[in-house]
Amino acid sequence: MKELLNIDEIFMKEALREARRARDLGEVPVGAVVVMNGQVVVRGCNSMLTSRDPSAHAEMVVIRKTALLTGNYRLNGATLYITLEPCLMCSGAIVLSRVDRVVYGAREPKTGAHESAFQVLSNHRNNHMPDVTGGILAEECAAILSDFFRKRRAEKKARKRAEREAAADPAIPDS
Ligand SMILES: [Zn+2]
């Protein structure tokens, strides 16, 4: 029998859909959605390459869109679903925008700013502390990232091999 998904898993599936969209655009596959009053109001994914913007992490994209949509730079009443533990920048934006609740999927051991590299979201010095739940559909959220990086490494290797072969076997010049 198929296990029923709880509400956080249902919305994380929506964020995962965005992560797959990022992957199809050639971006690192991280996706996010914002839920207000029990509904997805905004969707977004990593778009640093496509928008040539180093700050265009999925969380920043959806926080900006939600503020525009609601006409309010404060996101009270919003729950942010992200497939990956937020970084320092995004955690800062989450605190500043007063998102009520943050739900993420996989841990980010190198740069995560909740339970991994830094503890920003739970820092008592902040004037706002969101509720945070991590580990929702974590395996699925991590798998899309590891698949992406595995493929990228394989492509890089193949490219290098082709370059080496081309250098070792130069085309015969026209006489
Ligand atoms: Zn970030």
Ligand 1 center to 87 CA (angstroms): 4
Share of the chain above pLDDT 90, in %: 91
What does DSSP say about strands 78-84 and 131-133: parallel, antiparallel, or unpaired? unpaired
Q: Residues 43-83: pLDDT tens digits? A: 999 999 999 999 999 999 999 999 999 999 999 999 999 99
Q: What's the confidence (pLDDT) of residue 168?
A: 87
- 27 catalytic? Reply is no
Query: CA nearest 42: which of 2, 6, 77, 91?
Result: 77
pLDDT above 70 covers what percent of the chain?
95
| Ligand 1 centroid to residue 157 C-alpha, Å | 28
Asked if residue 9 lies in contact with residue 130, where contact means CB atoms within 8 angstroms, the answer is no
**Separation of 158 CA from ligand 1 center, angstroms?**
30
Q: How far is CA 69 from the centre of its chain?
A: 21
Enter the tokens of residue 151: 């493929």
Instruction: Give the separation between CA 15 and CA 71, rounded to whole angstroms.
Output: 23
Which residue among 59, 85, 115, 165 is the active-site one? 59
Task: Say yes or no to pLDDT of 3 above 70.
Answer: no
Q: How far does residue 174's CA lie from ligand 1's centre (Å)? A: 53
Could you tell me how far CA 172 lies from the centroid of its own chain?
48
Question: 173 vs 112, which has greater pLDDT?
Answer: 112
pLDDT band per the 50, 70, 90 thresholds, residue 1:
low
What pLDDT is recorded for position 5? 78
Average pLDDT rounded to a whole number, residues 10-31: 98
pLDDT of residue 32: 98
Average pLDDT over residues 153-175: 84
Q: Mean pLDDT score of the chain, rounded to an integer?
A: 94
Q: Which helix (H) or strand (E) holds 156?
A: helix 138-168
pLDDT at 172: 61
Q: Is the per-residue pLDDT at 175 higher than 60? A: no
Ligand 1 centroid to residue 58 C-alpha, Å? 7
